[in-house]
Amino acid sequence: MQKQGWDSTLVNDDDKGDREKNRVIRVRQRAIGRELRRMYDGVVKEPVPEEFLSLLQKMDVHEGDEDDEETPEER
């Protein structure tokens, strides 16, 4: 009867090397993810510049003007 689980005699050195490479890749990806989240969180907390808010407001007003020009059939 064969035991369930890993049989260490079936794992060669290449497999061990691949597992180590994969582990290193995962660790690196987690570190990059943490740094990106840290940077993104900082940007999200910054206030929106007044110039940008003014531009958005002008766009909203202009869009409202275009909506008024449409006939009921165009809507």
- Is residue 17 very low, low, confident or very high in pLDDT (cuts 50, 70, 90)? confident
Q: Give tens-digit pLDDT for 19-73.
A: 999 999 999 999 999 999 999 999 999 999 999 999 999 999 988 776 666 555 6
Chain centre distance of CA 17: 30
Tokens of 48: 């929106």
- What b/e readout covers 8-25, taking b as 16+ CB neighbours within 10 angstroms? eeeeeeeeeeeeeeeeee
Q: Please state, in angstroms and rounded to a whole number, the distance separating the CA atoms of residues 59 and 63.
A: 6
Q: Please state, in angstroms and rounded to a whole number, the distance separating the CA atoms of residues 34 and 42.
A: 12
Given a cut of 90, is residue 2 above it in pLDDT?
Answer: no
Locate tokens 């079936």: which residue?
A: 10
pTM: 0.44
